[in-house]
A and B are shown apart, each in its own frame.
Chain A
Amino acid sequence: MRLSDVQEGSIVKVVAVYGGKGILMKLSSMGIRPGDKLKIVSKLYGGPLIVEHTIHGCSIAIGRGMASKIEVVKQ
């Protein structure tokens, strides 16, 4: 499933990032890489969400478009 389909409160593991090298590099530079676990701390109706990286401890807001390019599995 995609990150954009995940509900608030759940913890997911990033499996892959689609949409080209640019997005993959941008996300990984901010600390989000395939294999990482994220907690969805906030999600707005039909829009962006905030994930908290379970190891780094940083919170990152991700727009819906970008979230729909991140493949995740529920933990």
Chain B
Amino acid sequence: MIKIALVGQPNSGKSTIFNSIAGYKVRTGNFPGVTVKYTETVVRIGNNKAKVIDLPGIYSFYTNEPAEIVTKEFILDQDIDVILNVVDSSVLSRSLELTVELTEFGIPMVIALNMTDEANRKGLEIDEKTLSEIFGVPVVKTVGNKGIGVKELFEMALKDRRIPKELKYDKDVEFAIEDIKKIVKDTSGFSKRLFAIMILQNDAKYLSKIRKEVYERCRNIKKEVELQHGKPIEYVISSERHKLAMSIFEKVTKIKRVKKELFKDKIDRAILNPYTGYPLILLTFIFMFLFAFYVGNFLSSIIVNPIESMLSFEIPGIYGEVIKGIVDGIIGGVGIVIPYLIPLLAFLGFLEDVGYMSRVAYLLDNIFHKMGVHGKFAGPMILGYGCTVPAIMATRIIENPWERIKGAILIPMIPCSARSVIILALVGSLFGVKAVLIYYAANLLVIFFVGMALAKTLNYPVEGLLMEIPELRIPRVTVIFKKTYLYLKDFLTLAWPIIIFGSAVFSLIEYLNITDIMDRALSPFTVHVLGLPAVLGAVIIFGILRKELALFMIYTALGVAINQGANGILNILGLKGVLAFVLFITFYIPCMSTIVVLLREFGAKVTLISIFAGISVGTLLAVLVRLLPI
């Protein structure tokens, strides 16, 4: 089967093209660097089948970032039949540098001039025939998000596979390439030119393939070039590609007069202006919470409550209890997913697709720096309000491993939908919407202080922000819909089964009546540290299995009838008790699903640190509340 690899710069629309041919399998977003691992799928193109691989977006192959290495190794080791180079036409001059670099691989190529509509709007007219002649490969104009040209593109990749023309660099670089070609005998199956270029730009993998004396001679050749240009060799070569790309760009484009400022440019200015930008962020998030509060409660009352009452049944015996637990878990999952998670994820997906999230990342960069992380952190953190599991996965967009570890510690402290259910049910129904907003603000403040404390302890140099700001776009409803589903999948496949399992375990323990033992074991902590009744011990333990389970359990544990509502709880625990309980439940430990995803993404050590940090912060806050003079 023919293997087609999609390669292109971040945000060039690779994933959109992939989705348009493969159905919806890759997460796309108007946020640079969304694809962190590659995805492959088999698709039918006409009467043929082909394997299509979506690789991470990369600007080049020479900065040695993980995504670049993954892509390079994949292309060179996996016998790719054709590279489908997706080019963002609206930034053609820069994108062509990668195209030039790709020609060095000597693998058949097809160029997709994507986002041609955007380029036209910018006044760029591209002559694809000339471009095709220069590279010696087919060029197809596409508009990925509308599906224009995508079919032709893949048909071309199947029927017209040509190896691109060998582009020549400046004389002294070509001499150096020739010199290396002469002294390197064994190129382990790679073309001599590619091998020589890789050696020349100090590619670690290729350098390790040559013998020591060859290595020394190559080093002298490189030194000479560096002396002539007064720049590092890697930069000299990349400048050559740049020069070539610019001259090709000039040959194939006509720049028309650009129209006056568009409406979206005005919006963009308002978003980026600090005086309007920060209030806008605040409004957006207040809107997000109110949206979750009203829409969530409404949906909950019309969908989830009827299901719950329909499915309440009693089966005697231990198996009956387990079945009841499983059904509870399933309903519980639905109770979070439909009313709270879906609206929130859809809203976030919308913000990301518009291009707003990258602007938020820019605006918040200063504040995030105080926590020793940079602005890109904003995305995963906000996702954390939906579900911690996809939020932890989303930290993959952060390159620095230390920063990711901070994510592992801080993100579980953000109240996810399940915890929001508790906050809304207790704080919300007792003290109103305002109190909920204050609670969320205070929660953020605590996370900020924990982050600052972490910045002091995990003291490493913070990588500066360097991030492309994509054009604002009007997203397509279907795309947002599908994207929501993809985020949701993390929840459905990972969190939900654990919730169901947790419910079954909970039913069983309740049936066996061993909650007393847990209450007693935990009572020194529950009573003396948190200042809560001992009967909440088991509630706290079960909160780990399913955070929102704690809400249902607190009624049973305290002997309050559910129809008495939150006031019944308030009567027993008092104001401080309710606050201490909610705070502790919000912070103390990530739920079971989060622990699983943390283990998978970070390993045991970081997971333990994250759990420890959560318990400490939760305890500290509960104790502080006890000491409050109210």
**Does B466 have its Cβ within 8 Å of any Cβ on chain A?**
yes
Please, which residue of chain B has its CB at the minimum distance from the CB of A33?
B242
Contact of A61 among B91, B122, B235, B362 (CB under 8 A): B362
- Complex interface: chain B residues within 8 A of A50 (CB): 272, 362, 469
> How far apart are B375's CB and chain A's nearest CB, in angstroms?
7
Size band of the B side of the interface?
35 or more
CA distance A65 to B272 in the complex (A): 20
- Interface membership of chain A positions 41-57, coded 1 if the CB is closer than 8 angstroms to chain B and 0 otherwise: 11011111010010111
For the complex, give the distance between the alpha carbons of A60 and B208 in Å: 35
B366 at the interface (CB under 8 A from A): yes
Knowing A21-B232, A29-B238, A41-B272, the reply to whether A48 touches B94 (Cβ < 8 A) is no
Q: In this complex, what residue of A is CB-closest to B238?
A: A28
Q: Does B62 contact A (CB under 8 A)?
A: yes
Smallest beta-carbon distance A29→chain B, Å:
4
Query: Do A57 and B91 form a contact, CB below 8 Å, given A29-B62, A41-B272?
Result: yes
Residues of A within 8 A of B468 (CB): 30, 58-61
> Would A24 and B235 be within 8 Å (CB), given that A29-B59, A60-B469, A61-B467 are in contact?
yes
Given contacts A50-B362, A58-B91, contact A22 B63 (CB under 8 A): yes
Task: Answer whether A63 and B374 are a contact pair too, CB < 8 Å, given A29-B63, A30-B59, A42-B272.
Answer: yes
Where chain B touches its partner, the secondary structure class is helix
Question: Judging by beta carbons under 8 Å apart, are B366 and A56 in contact?
Answer: no
| Chain B residues within an 8 Å CB radius of A1 | none
- Complex formed: what's the CA distance from A68 to B285 in Å? 32
Which positions 461-497 of chain B face chain A at CB distance < 8 Å?
Answer: 462, 464-470
Cβ proximity bits B539-555 to A, threshold 8 Å, 1 near / 0 not: 00000000000000000
Nearest-neighbour CB distance to chain B for A17, whole angstroms, equals 10
Output the least CB separation between B42 and chain A (Å): 32
| A31 with B94, Cβ < 8 A, contacts A25-B235, A60-B467 known | yes
8 Å CB contact of A66 from B63, B272, B465: B465
- Find chain B residues with CB under 8 A from A45 CB: 274, 366
Inter-subunit contact B374/A25 (CB<8 Å) = no
- B94/A58 in contact, CB under 8 A: yes
State which residues 78-112 of B face A: CB under 8 Å: 90-91, 93-94, 97
Measured CB to CB, the closest approach of chain B to A28, in angstroms, equals 6
Q: Is A74 an interface residue (CB 8 A)?
A: no
Smallest distance from the beta carbon of A54 to chain B beta carbons, Å? 11
Chain B nearest CB, measured from A33 CB (Å) = 6
Collect the chain A residues with CB atoms within 8 Å of residue B470's CB.
59
Majority SS at the chain A contact face? mixed
A29-40 CB contact bits vs B (8 Å, 1 = yes)? 111010000000
Q: Any chain B CB within 8 A of the CB of A64?
A: yes
Which residues of B sit under 8 angstroms from A66, Cβ to Cβ?
464-466
The B426-472 residues at the A interface (CB cut-off 8 A) are 462, 464-470
**B365 at the A/B interface (Cβ < 8 Å)?**
yes
Tell me whether B469 and A53 are in contact (CB under 8 A).
no
Which residues of B sit under 8 angstroms from A33, Cβ to Cβ? 239, 242
In the bound complex, residues from chain A placing their C-beta under 8 Å from that of B467 are 60-61
Q: Does any Cβ of A come within 8 Å of B125's Cβ?
A: no
The answer to whether B363 has its CB under 8 Å from any CB of chain A is yes
Contact B466 A27 (CB under 8 A): yes
The CA of A22 and the CA of B375, in the complex, are separated in Å by 20
Q: How far is the CA of A59 from the CA of B362 in the complex (A)?
A: 12
Are B366 and A44 in contact, CB atoms less than 8 angstroms apart? yes
User: Nearest Cβ distance between residue A56 and chain B, in whole angstroms?
Assistant: 4
B489 shortest CB reach to chain A, Å: 30
Q: Is B586 an interface residue (CB 8 A)?
A: no
Closest A residue to B469 by beta carbon equals A59
For A60, the chain B residues whose CB sits under 8 A away are 466-469
Known: A46-B366, A50-B362. A64 touches B464 (CB 8 A): yes
Residue from A31, A48, A55 in contact with B465 in the complex, judged by beta carbons closer than 8 Å: A48
Q: Chain A's nearest CB lies how many Å from the CB of B462? A: 8
With both chains docked as a complex, state the minimum distance between the C-beta of B261 and any C-beta of chain A, in angstroms: 12
Cβ-defined contact, A29 with B60, below 8 A:
yes
State whether the Cβ of B40 lies closer than 8 Å to any Cβ in chain A: no
Complex contacts, A29 vs chain B, CB 8 Å? 59-60, 62-63, 97, 238
**Does B247 interact with chain A (Cβ within 8 Å)?**
no
A24-B235, A29-B59, A47-B366 known; A62+B469 contact, CB < 8 A: no
Q: Please tell me if B273 contacts chain A, counting CB pairs below 8 Å.
A: yes
> Contact: A47 with B365, CB < 8 Å?
yes
Q: Which of B55-91 contact A (CB under 8 A)?
A: 59-60, 62-63, 90-91
A53 to B374, CA, bound (A): 22
Q: Which of B97, B273, B467 has the most CB of A within 10 A?
A: B467
- In the complex, what residue of chain B is closest to A21 when comparing beta carbons? B232
| Interchain nearest-CB distance for A23 vs B (Å) | 8
Docked complex Cα distance between A6 and B464 (Å): 18
Contacts of B601 in A (CB 8 A): none
B128 CB within 8 Å of chain A: no
A21 to B213, CA, bound (A): 26
Enumerate chain B residues within 8 angstroms of A65, measured Cβ to Cβ.
462, 464
The 28 sampled A-B contact pairs (Cβ below 8 Å) are A21-B232, A25-B62, A25-B63, A25-B235, A25-B238, A29-B59, A29-B97, A30-B59, A30-B94, A30-B466, A31-B91, A42-B362, A44-B363, A44-B365, A44-B366, A50-B469, A55-B93, A56-B94, A57-B90, A59-B468, A59-B470, A61-B358, A61-B362, A61-B465, A61-B467, A63-B464, A65-B462, A65-B464
Chain B: residues with CB nearer than 8 A to chain A? 59-60, 62-63, 90-91, 93-94, 97, 122, 232, 234-235, 238-239, 242, 246, 272-274, 358, 361-363, 365-366, 369, 374-375, 462, 464-470
10 smallest beta-carbon distances between A and B, as pairs: A63-B465, A66-B464, A63-B464, A29-B60, A31-B94, A47-B366, A29-B59, A65-B464, A42-B272, A56-B94
Which residues does A use to contact B, with CB under 8 Å? 21-22, 24-31, 33, 41-42, 44-48, 50, 53, 55-67
